[in-house]
Amino acid sequence: MNEMKIPEHIAIIMDGNGRWAKKLGLNRIFGHKTGVKAVRETVEICGEIGVKYLTLYAFSMENWSRPSDEVEALMSLLIESIVKETAELNRNNVQLRTIGNLSVFPENVTVKLNQAIEFTSKNTGLVLTLALSYGSRWEITEAVKEIATKVTTGEIKPESINENVIEQYLTTYNMPDPELIIRTSGEQRLSNFLLWQGAYSELYFTAVLWPDFRKKDLLEAVDEYRKRERRFGKTGEQIKQEKD
Ligand code: IPE
Ligand code: IPE
Ligand code: MG
């Protein structure tokens, strides 16, 4: 694929694991397990086509309210996958990061996660960020709290607060906004994912259920993205002139 207009940052809402399993008459957990293969393929293809940042919505803040056996199975799967996949990620020069409220995770999960993050921290290839116990409203609320505290102590002047300042207090302070947000499973909503960062993202929805998502599906999304005209409030004519 020609390198032109490959998004620097792709974010994916990996949805449809439960329905995938149900279709086969299996437990939802089986869908989550099979979804790991789709993650592997997506990481590989993003590396191959030169995407720099891949952010995967793996567990939302709202997902804590699922039945406890499903939450427990997801936690075990998370540990298992990290342990199994880290060496391969490292071989591929992938740097692992997380965003979300990790403080609410069981300690055995955070220990393994932090080990993997530390282990891959010097890698210079794809930055793979897992959104875990993530919610945009939580993230923005935390940013507001931190900024307000600094206003109280005089470290920040209210009149100096602008979009750039706010961005520095979001969990994504060290990455660009995603140009493309993909959601699988046919649902067309953001479910509290990257609300600030996605202000001008191109949205791509596919009916493919996450466990079935393959390299070709990612390439289709990127192809569609490349056909879009990103106008950022300007007119189509202005955009054409800028290109000439
Ligand atoms: C996405 O698949 C994975 C998580 C939210 C953890 P779902 O589990 O939401 O699958 P559906 O939407 O019920 O099919
Ligand atoms: C969004 O999927 C969260 C993740 C993919 C991790 P959900 O399945 O939780 O979203 P809703 O509840 O259908 O909006
Ligand atoms: Mg879902």
Q: What is the pLDDT of residue 244?
A: 83
Measured distance CA(202)–CA(242) in Å, rounded: 20
Give the contacts of 24 (CB within 8 A, at least 6 positions apart): 30
State residue 226's pLDDT score: 96
Match 């490349």 to its residue by tokens: 226
Compute the distance between CA of residue 119 and CA of residue 90 in angstroms, rounded to an integer. 8
Question: Measured from the CB, is residue 92 less than 6 Å from ligand 1?
Answer: no
Encode pLDDT of 145-167 as tens digits. Answer: 999 999 999 999 999 999 999 99
Taking the C-alpha atoms of residue 191 and residue 15, their distance in angstroms, rounded to an integer, is 11
Amino acid at 181: I
Q: Is 15 a catalytic residue?
A: yes
Residue with the smallest CA separation from ligand 2 atom 2 is 15
Reported as a single tens digit per residue, the pLDDT across 171-227 is 999 999 999 999 999 999 999 999 999 999 999 999 999 999 999 999 999 999 999
Reduce the DSSP state of residue 133 to 3 states and report it. strand
Per-domain residue ranges of the chain: 9-134+177-235
- Domain 9-134+177-235 classified CATH 3.40.140.10? no
Counting from 1 in the atom list of ligand 1, the atom nearest the Cα of 22 is 14
The Cα–Cα gap between 33 and 74 comes to: 9
User: Residue 130 region, left (φ>0) first, then alpha (ψ -120 to 50), else beta?
Assistant: beta
